[in-house]
Structure 1
Amino acid sequence: MRDLSQAVGQWKQWALWEGAAVGRSARRALGGPGPERDTAVQALKAAAAALIAWALAGWWWKAPMAMLAPWTAIFLVQSTVYRSLKSALQQFVVVVMGTLLAAGAGVLTGNAMLAMIIALPVAMLFGSYARFGTQGLNAPTAALFVLVYGTYSGFDILHRFLETLLGAAIGLAVNALVLPPVHSRSVRHLRSHLPEESAALLHTVADGLSDDGLTQEGAQTWHDRAWRLTDRVTELRTARSWSDESYRFNPGRKLRRSAPLPPAADWDFTWDRITHHIEAITRTLAESAGGSGRAALPDAAPAIVAELLRAAGDVCELDDTLEHSDPGEPGADESRRRRGRDRRAALQRAYTAQSELNSMFRERGDEYLDTFAAVTADTIRLLSDLSSIAGREPDDEAARDDAHGAAG
């Protein structure tokens, strides 16, 4: 009884948690744009497409296999119009093949069971072809419809093809013309958070080096965060691909007022390099923490690296601010110019610190060659890419040339 009571308590807790999650999702769907609302819209569109297909095929046309039309319409309200069109072609091919296989086996054997033994293995093998994707399972499903209903005449087969085409046309039309799905929100979201998270990590590393010095535990934590930061770029690349697909063959995208074009992809490549430079710097710091000799940094180096990374974090943070400033706000142009100057000033501070680091590297000779060289090279690469997002190189040509000369 005790075990039963515990099981009931766990199921009750799970049900409450699940109900609360559903409630939160429903509130978010009603509250504003987001993934929950997108899911709800697509679900309602699929239901509407099925109702329209049934009204035409079953109620008005009175087709013998009217269920094929709404069944096809539901599955063709996909997450993108391109995917709907691709799925429509795949589904029609596999339905035709499954229907013809079943009809041929039925005519040949005259027995539903024997026909299934012949048709279903072949239909399953045909549907497993990778080009058909998830639609491949419709081949044996179509074969089962034919064999269960036992109608093999040419008229019945033609009706099945027409009903499938009707459902496909309705599903495509509803998906393309009624709030056509456009997936650019994730691109803008990740594009906003990547500079913000990069700035936060660089500031954290700078504060840690200034306050506590280079410790094994702290450096490993920084490296773990930098590793997750590179995952953000992978997510952005996936979101970019998803966004591009949502615009393909989408005649109704201009009807979506809330779906502006996603930002250009050039920005992504620069930040891909920046996040990898940050990851390389934190990895080198983690390897050098607690080390000695060639695996260590000079005593004065962490303070200089901290100043460099703090300024680099300011550049990242100001890049995020500039990207999201509203040009329609009063005084927006002057505000952008001021923040642009601030960003270049931060980059200048970073290059000044880099010049100090280069000078220290040359003075130390090869005593700290391995780790010190790696940190110096990694920070030079970071500043080089940050210069590109700042719009131009820093004003101090000597500092810039000194840094680039050290990189060479």
Structure 2
Amino acid sequence: MSSGRYRVLASPAPVVDLVRRRREPVVVRTLRSTAAAVLAYLAALWLSGNAQPLLAPLTAVLVVQVTLYATLTLGVRRIASVVAGVLIAVGFADAVGLTWWSLGLLVLVCLSLGHLLHLAPWVEEVAVTGMLVLGVGGQRTEAVGRVIETLIGAAVGVLLNAVVAPPVYVEPAGEAIKDLAARLRLLLLRIGDELVHAASARHVAAWLDEARRLDHQTADVDAALARAEESLRLNPRGRPALGARLVLRGGLDAMEHCAVGLRSLCRSFADLAELRTDENPLYSGEVAAELRHLFGHLADAADRFGRLVTAEVAAITAGGAVPAAAQLRQELARALAQARAGRDRAAALLRSESDRDPEVWELHGALLALTERLMNELDIDRRLRASPTADRPEARRRRDRTTLGGLLRSLRSGELRRWLGGRVDPSRNWSFGRSGR
């Protein structure tokens, strides 16, 4: 019995992995496309009378996307492209028939019409359909059959996503922001550790390369957030998670600015390294130790910020409080307070360094200013108060719909609750991003 139990647990790895990843976009689209192709083929056999209606499953596979909104829009464009190609081909067949010049003219007209009607990514489908219909002499039965199979395939693809609603990709977007914050944390820790071990120009070049790579991950996070926002559109599962869009967009905005600030910080270190000789480190002794503490606290703040985004998103999608969120808010506030205290101590030491070497005072000032910018970006309320239009009513209303700190004001005023159709409990403590100072 024991051996049988272990045989069950030792299921094929691909099957187990597929079940574990069933909510990932690639897996979702693969399974839905397979089901849509089979259903479209069966429906076309019954409705079209064609013995091999392969255009219907082909259309279903091309139309089905990971979100209902994308499936619907692509389905409409696919149908429009086929109908346009059929109509053009029938007109050409009646007028001139199939010749080398009529074929070239047909392709030119079909592609031009596809671009004019904004049928991307199905612009080429207009020409393909036109050539196929023209090749059989523009027969009405062939043209009508092609349109019918396309309609069946598109309808099956759209209905499948409408009946079996696709998942909402809000939580993966939150995880992507948390991963970006984790990479930001690792780079800050690395800078601090290497500063106390006689960091040189070689180390600074590696920091700068890593900071630049953060930009690529930021673009990936932005794509994940765009997919999450699209998955909420027309999706019945997405209504409870509408408020998470505000948290995610505000979190990504803060992470983008932190990545830019950190890259500028590394650039300042690179400028400072040019003034040092190969034997002299960037900083040493008490200055290097204090900068290590400063970057350590900044790393903690970035980590807590990313985890807090994930916790708040989980709270919104689950419709209840997440105990870890309150603790993360406190830890974020504490890390920011410690970072500001460390910045003040580092400023005093760097001022003494500048007195001894006036040539570097500007770079020291840039270093302190950039660390302050990182702290301000992680402290959302402080960044909002610093906006020159923060007190304008229109600006505040726009900000409340698009940023993290505005959640609190929106919930107090009841505006966000009305926008979400009463799905948000105003009694909850939405103080995301507050520093607690």
Shorter-chain TM-score: what band? Answer: 0.7 to 0.9
Is residue 374 of structure 1 aligned with residue 363 of structure 2? no
Per the normalisation by structure 2, the TM-score is 0.70
Equivalent in 126, 135, 146 of residue 133 of structure 2: 146
Corresponding residue pairs, total: 363
1:58-86 deviation digits (Å, cap 9, x = unpaired): 33441599444333223211233222222
Preserved CA contact (<8 Å) 2:184 2:299: yes
Residue type of the alignment partner of 1:279: R
Matched residue, 1:241: 226
After TM superposition, give the deviation of residue 102 of structure 1 in Å.
Answer: 1.4
CA gap 1:218/1:130 in 2 versus in 1, 3 angstroms:
farther
CA gap 1:320/1:71 in 2 versus in 1, 3 angstroms:
closer
After TM superposition, give the deviation of residue 138 of structure 1 in Å.
Answer: 1.3
Matched residue, 2:56: 69
Matched residue, 1:197: 183
Preserved CA contact (<8 Å) 1:180 1:250: yes
Name the CA distance, whole Å, in 1 between partners of 2:98 and 2:336.
Answer: 80
Residue type of the alignment partner of 1:270: A
Secondary structure in 1 matching 2:234 = coil
CA gap 1:66/1:291 in 2 versus in 1, 3 angstroms:
same
Considering only aligned residues, what root-mean-square deviation do their CA atoms show, in Å? 3.7
Name the CA distance, whole Å, in 2 between partners of 1:78 and 1:306.
Answer: 47
After TM superposition, give the deviation of residue 57 of structure 1 in Å.
Answer: 2.8
Name the CA distance, whole Å, in 2 between partners of 1:147 and 1:286.
Answer: 65
Name the CA distance, whole Å, in 2 between partners of 1:336 and 1:242.
Answer: 25
Equivalent in 24, 31, 45 of residue 20 of structure 2: 31
After TM superposition, give the deviation of residue 267 of structure 1 in Å.
Answer: 1.5
Is residue 311 of structure 1 aligned with residue 311 of structure 2? no
Matched residue, 1:3: none
Secondary structure in 1 matching 2:275 = coil
Preserved CA contact (<8 Å) 2:232 2:242: no
Secondary structure in 1 matching 2:139 = coil
Is residue 161 of structure 1 aligned with residue 147 of structure 2? yes
Matched residue, 1:274: 258
After TM superposition, give the deviation of residue 181 of structure 1 in Å.
Answer: 5.0
Matched residue, 1:223: 208
Residue type of the alignment partner of 1:222: W
Residue type of the alignment partner of 1:353: G
Greater gyration radius: 1
Preserved CA contact (<8 Å) 1:214 1:289: no
CA gap 1:369/1:299 in 2 versus in 1, 3 angstroms:
farther
Matched residue, 1:109: 96
Q: Aligned runs of 1:90-129 on 2, under 5 Å?
A: 90-111=77-98, 116-127=103-114
Matched residue, 1:8: none
Matched residue, 1:285: 269
Is residue 354 of structure 1 aligned with residue 343 of structure 2? yes
Unaligned stretches of 5+ in structure 1?
A: 1-22, 396-408
Matched residue, 1:59: 46
Name the CA distance, whole Å, in 2 between partners of 1:143 and 1:367.
Answer: 72
Unaligned stretches of 5+ in structure 2?
A: 1-11, 382-431
Matched residue, 2:424: none
Secondary structure in 2 matching 1:132 = coil
Is residue 388 of structure 1 aligned with residue 380 of structure 2? yes
Deviates more, 1:160-169 or 1:305-314: 160-169
CA gap 1:273/1:184 in 2 versus in 1, 3 angstroms:
same
1:11-50 deviation digits (Å, cap 9, x = unpaired): xxxxxxxxxxxx9766522334353xx4344234323323
Name the CA distance, whole Å, in 1 between partners of 2:267 and 2:14.
Answer: 39
Name the CA distance, whole Å, in 1 between partners of 2:369 and 2:326.
Answer: 31
Name the CA distance, whole Å, in 2 between partners of 1:339 and 1:115.
Answer: 69
Residue type of the alignment partner of 1:105: F
Equivalent in 50, 65, 69 of residue 78 of structure 1: 65
Matched residue, 1:401: none
Preserved CA contact (<8 Å) 2:68 2:161: yes
